[in-house]
Each structure stands twice: as C-alpha cells, then as structure tokens.
Structure 1
Amino acid sequence: MRKLWGLIAGLAVLLTGSAAWAAESAVVFMYHRFDDSRFPTANTRIDQLDAHIAELQSGGYTVWSLPRIVTALKNRQALPEKTVALSIDDAWMTVYRNAWPRLKAANLPFTLFVVTDETDRGGAEYMSWDQIRELAASGLVTIGSQGAGHPHMPALTQASVADDLARAAQRFQAELGAVPKLFAWPFGEMSNDAEQAVRAAGYDAAFGQHSGPAWFGATPFFLPRFALNETYGEIERFRLAARTIALPVVEVSPPDPTLKVNPPLFGFTMAHEVPGMELLGCYASHEGKVTTETLGPRVEVRMTKPFPTGRGRINCTIPTLDGRWRWFGWQFYVN
C-alpha cells in the first residue's frame, strides 16, 4: 500500500509540475513580415496571423508586454499560466499595413524592434518615424532597438558594436524622445564582447532568435524567442510553442555563443530536478539528433560534425505527461 501511495504521489508531481514550473517562464514570439510572399522564411501569412490572434484570445493565455515580462523574470516573480509576449523585428511596412490593424483591434501588446538606419533610409519597404511614433503613442506598442546598421555583431570589435548602439541611441532620442531599454540581436547573433557593449549601453535585456521559453534563471541578455514564418507559423506549431515551459538550464558551456572550437563541447546544468530526464532529446540544426549524457544534474551534448559558417542552433526538449514540452534552445555563431 505504501508503494502504491508513493506511485500515486509521484504521478501527481509529474502531472501538476508543468503548471507550477510554468510560473518561472514565458513564451516570446518573433515575427518579421506579414502577407509578403516574396520572403516566405520571414513572412507570416494573414490567415496564420488571424489564427494566432484567435488562439491567444480563446486559449487561456495571458498576453503581456515584453517589458512587463522582463521585469517579472529579473525579479523572479511568478508568471501567470501560459504567459506570452509578441515581438516584431525590423519595422517593415507590412507590419503597419497588415499586422498593426489586427493587433490593435485585438488589443494585443507587442514590441517593435527598429533598425534606425533602415528607417532613416525610408522608401516603400520600411515604416516611417511618423508611423513608429503612432504605434508608440497607442500604449500597446513598446519600441525596441536592433541597433543602427543591423550588422553581424560577433564579427565586430566591441568598440564598433558600441559605436553602432550609440548611433542608434542618438536617432531614437531625436525621433522618439527616449532610447529603448530592450534590444534584439541582429540575426539573433551574440558574442560575449558584444553583450558587454549592450549592457554598457544601458539596455535591460536582449533577445536572440533561438527557440524556447524565457526562464527567470537565464541571462537576460540572450533570451530566446520562437520564430514564426510561413513554414513554422501554422496553428499547430504556434499552439505547441505557446504552451512550452522552460528547461531550467544554467552553466551553459561554452559560455560564448560565438564558437572558437567547432563542433563545441556543449553542455549545461539543470538548476533543479526535472521529471522525465530519461526522455531528454537534443537536436542540432546541421546534424539532427545528437548524443547526450546525463551525469547527475549535468548534461553533456556531443556533435560529430562542425557547424557551418554563420548561425547554428541546438534544441533540447522533454515531453510532459500533460502534453506539453519542456524546452531549451541555444544559438551559435561561426565566423
């Protein structure tokens, strides 16, 4: 009988643990273009966006602004079940023309990450400063920065990254009267040197383009976002991502996402015990499923092939008994 009650108690922990640990993380989505079929890898169709909005309105989610989520994560405040934020990169005109009317009508907040050089350049492809000011004045939209020139920041010196950020700050101050506090890494690419420049520039947090929920134990300067496009924007995938909870990962190695050894000796430590570790699977973007070895709280991941030049990603997941996924993603840069 004692063994039976022990089994029941263990199952109860597995079944209720997802909701409890979900309070430690939030899902952030990333969009680029809307209804622009010329660029399917960066585009979200209107029928997809409409389905996302309907899901957020009817699926029991709590949609918060990104600054509110960042504050909660940094202060380790419990988040509501299925907390979600929306972000949009690059301020393409299709944001203003196709997404903004729908998101405004649904009263859904989002963060728009602006590249100041592109906005200054103008033309039919990009939103104007007047349009950006209109969104900022609505109370629904937070303006974030992607810097001035949208460079590959790990390929620059720390001084060059600082110059790019300073140039962007001058333009934001001139056009909006304030400098954003949130940053998005161009192309999702980060290095430790570039991170120091972003910190020194006064940002509160920075976001990449690797998948997974943002967890309150993670560094606030390389937070993940689920990217959405025509391929990865169907409602089934959106719903799956929106319901993920974080794998509580610390002590990632190598600590710099810009690789000096390739393939990297990749590993991480679980901050606390997670049920189902025997079901952990890790997948590299260039290789598929890779080898993992668990040594107590430490997980070592080994790849047999080097990442190609540019960006590479790895995702580690564990299924839960209530149909959700614990998820940790990471992005590397190879110069």
Structure 2
Amino acid sequence: MLSKIHCGIVIGVLSASVAAQAQDYLPILQYHHVSSTTPRSTSLTEAEFIEHMDYLQSAGFEVVDLRTALDKLKAKEALPDKAVAITFDDSYRDIYSGAFPILAERDYPFTIFINSEPVEAKRSNALTWAQMKEMEVAGAVFGSHTINHPYMLRKEEGESDEAWLSRMTREVDSVEELLVEELGHSPKMFAYPYGESNKTIRNIMKERDIIAFGQQSGVVSADSDFTNLPRFPASGAYAKLSALKTKLNSKPMPLLSEEAGGDFATDQPVSLRLTFKQGKYRLKDLACYVSGQGKATLDWVSDSEVIATASKAFNTGRGRINCTMPDNSGRQYYWYSNVWIRASAEQGYISEKS
C-alpha cells in the first residue's frame, strides 16, 4: 500500500503533468474558398488545405469546437494543449465540396459564418440548407455573416444614422432567426464582413450575447474583447505552411491595456499604446510592423509601456499594425494586431462619434 506521502507525490506529479498539457489561449484559423478556380486572394487549393490539415494532425494539434472552447476561455477553464479552431467565412459551396470531405475524414469540427442571401436565393455557388444539415452531423457549426455581406460601417446615400443602425440590426437579427428556423439553433457567433465594426456595432453584439470576430490577427484569451475577436487568415498570401506554423505557435500578447485612438485613421500616422502585464518578458525584442510601411517607431514611455507609431498616414482602406515578441523559450511568439479604417468621403462611412 502506498504511503500518504507517496500518494501525495504521485498526485502532485500528475497535477503538474495535467497543467503542462493545458492551454489558456486559442489560435483561430480563418478560411474562405477551398478551390483552385476562385480568387486567389481568398482561396487555397484542396492540396494546400490537405497540407494544412495533415500538419495539424502530425504536429499533435487538437482541433476543438469553437463555441465550446470560447466558453471555456471566458470561464477561465483550460483548453487541451495545442488547441486550435477552424473557421470559414461566407456561404461558398466549395467549402462543402472542397473542405468538408477533408475535415470529415479527420473528424475535425469547424465553424462556417454564412451570409444568408445567396443561400435563400439558391445560387449555384452557395451552400444549401440540406448541405449544412449534413455537415452539422459531422461537427460543423453555422454562425452569422449578415444577410448581404455589407460594409457595416457605410451608410447608403441619404441614409440617416438611425436608418443605418436599423438596417445593421436587421442584418444581425434576421440571420439569427433564420439559423433557428432552418437548423433549429444558433451558436450566437458572428463574423463582421471585411472585419469592420465600431463601438455601436459591437454593442449590438454585447446586448444579444453574441460572440463576434474581426479580421485582425492574433490569439484569443480570457482577456480578449469577445465582441471583436482576432483570427489568423490562412488563405491566399497566407496559405504557405511556413506561415501557418508561425501562427499556430503564437500566444496572446501579455497586455494590461491597449489604446489605439478609435476605429478610424485620419490624415496623420496612427499610433497605439501598449501596457504590458507584470512579468519577465523579452520586451527589447518587441517589434511592430505597419502594413505597407515596415517597422513602426517604438517609444518606451516606461519599463512596461510603449507607443508604436507609423511613419506616415495610411492610404484609403484598412491598415494595421502587427506586433510580435518572442517568449522566454524562443520557440513561440506573442502576437498582437490592430486594424484602422482610413475612409474617403465618397464611401459614406459612419462618423467615429456615431
């Protein structure tokens, strides 16, 4: 019979082993098309997708159900070691024909954010409700990507702020109702078209208890904004396996706070202020990169606070700053990204104050 001391040692070793196999963050992969005949910017081929999925399998990653994993993170419960989630945006039928057989063969759960208009119009390149029900049996989950895939922060010509908000509310609520009507339930998850949102739109999600996703890169943790979660793009220019490996080995930047000055950029260079949690980090190795400009200037306000500034203003469209920092092991990187919109007058964007 084992002594109490021996039992205590065994339990302690087992507890340490379990802790070593736990993860308190989640990288999420974002795909669109899986096809060789669709626009390359949002596509990867079936062969490339197989390469991605084979790597997840051979490297010991555990593909998890997205909503379940996010609920655990919010509750500060541990995820399996090397947990990762897979998502698709839009209602493309090639997800069913190109991706689904590959995922089903490996028994990988996945989430598709659908825009409902192509489905309801029964377009030939769109998923059908019957196909969605078939995929659900194999672990698929369907969230919302609006009705018509609009730029959610753009007003139509002559549209008031109130009318814009009413239209955007319909874009959210209508798909939620349709998911319940056709599939019997909704996971209450939403992906912003083009990754664009503002405080008003994010409040819609918060009021409805919907978890929402942008298109900024990064890793989700309990500290993340669950109305604007990051994902890693894995298609087009990001389809190379080497890029995927780097992202899968990323961790959330250990931030106490972040300030980016709002969702919109102006005719002045953007900057962001990052304050790090207490801890031993390789802050001297922090590097921030501005889209289309190279490295940002880093101004250390204190030992734990830095301001990263772009060298010049963004052009019209979306611009971002990505920051990375190696962890103490040198085998993984902390990752953070922020996106701004530089709007032009003719695009009709809602004002920053709305």
Pairwise TM-score range, normalised by the shorter structure: 0.7 to 0.9
The answer to whether 1:182 aligns with 2:181 is: no
The alignment of Structure 1 onto Structure 2 pairs a total of residues equal to 315
Further displaced range: 149-158 or 95-104:
149-158
Q: Give the drift of 1:301.
A: 0.9
2:76·2:222 contact (CA, 8 Å) conserved in 1?
yes
Higher relative contact order (CA 8 A, sep 6+): 1
Match of 2:5 in 1: none
1:154·1:258 contact (CA, 8 Å) conserved in 2?
no
2:224 aligned residue (211, 218, 221):
218
TM-score between both structures, scaled by the size of structure 2: 0.83
Unaligned runs of 5+ in 2: 1-18, 156-163, 344-354
Match of 1:293 in 2: 299
The answer to whether 1:84 aligns with 2:92 is: no
Match of 1:241 in 2: 247
The answer to whether 1:229 aligns with 2:214 is: no
Question: How far apart are the structure 2 equivalents of 1:72 and 1:96?
Answer: 28
Match of 1:324 in 2: 332
SS of equivalent to 2:281: coil
1:21·1:245 contact (CA, 8 Å) conserved in 2?
no
Q: Give the drift of 1:23.
A: 2.6
The answer to whether 1:96 aligns with 2:104 is: no
Match of 1:281 in 2: 287
Structure 2 CA distance for partners of 1:20 and 1:261, relative to 1, 3 Å = farther
Match of 1:118 in 2: 118
Question: How far apart are the structure 2 equivalents of 1:230 and 1:270?
Answer: 33
Match of 2:13 in 1: none
Structure 1's consecutive aligned runs of 4 or more residues displaced over 6 angstroms after TM superposition are 19-22
Structure 2 CA distance for partners of 1:152 and 1:22, relative to 1, 3 Å = farther
Question: How far apart are the structure 1 equivalents of 2:236 and 2:310?
Answer: 29
SS of equivalent to 1:41: helix
Question: How far apart are the structure 1 equivalents of 2:256 and 2:340?
Answer: 17
C-alpha offsets along residues 291-334 of structure 1, whole Å, 9 cap, x if unaligned? 11222322211112122222112110012334221111122223
2:202 aligned residue (195, 201, 224):
195
SS of equivalent to 1:85: strand
Question: How far apart are the structure 2 equivalents of 1:79 and 1:178?
Answer: 25
Structure 2 CA distance for partners of 1:21 and 1:247, relative to 1, 3 Å = farther
Question: How far apart are the structure 1 equivalents of 2:283 and 2:21?
Answer: 15
The aligned amino acid for 1:132 is M
2:29·2:85 contact (CA, 8 Å) conserved in 1?
yes
Match of 2:180 in 1: 173
Query: Radius of gyration: which is bigger?
Result: 2
The answer to whether 1:147 aligns with 2:153 is: no
Question: How far apart are the structure 1 equivalents of 2:60 and 2:238?
Answer: 22
Q: Give the drift of 1:22.
A: 8.2
Structure 2 CA distance for partners of 1:197 and 1:59, relative to 1, 3 Å = same
Q: Give the drift of 1:75.
A: 1.1
Unaligned runs of 5+ in 1: 1-18
C-alpha offsets along residues 189-219 of structure 1, whole Å, 9 cap, x if unaligned? 121111011222331x111111111122111
SS of equivalent to 2:306: strand
Q: Give the drift of 1:264.
A: 2.7
SS of equivalent to 1:199: helix
Question: How far apart are the structure 1 equivalents of 2:270 and 2:21?
Answer: 30
Q: Give the drift of 1:47.
A: 1.6
2:67·2:187 contact (CA, 8 Å) conserved in 1?
no
Match of 2:137 in 1: 137
SS of equivalent to 1:219: coil
Further displaced range: 49-58 or 319-328:
319-328
Question: How far apart are the structure 1 equivalents of 2:222 and 2:121?
Answer: 38
Q: Give the drift of 1:141.
A: 0.9
Structure 2 CA distance for partners of 1:269 and 1:158, relative to 1, 3 Å = farther
The aligned amino acid for 1:332 is W
Match of 2:58 in 1: 58
1:28·1:84 contact (CA, 8 Å) conserved in 2?
yes
Question: How far apart are the structure 1 equivalents of 2:153 and 2:268?
Answer: 16
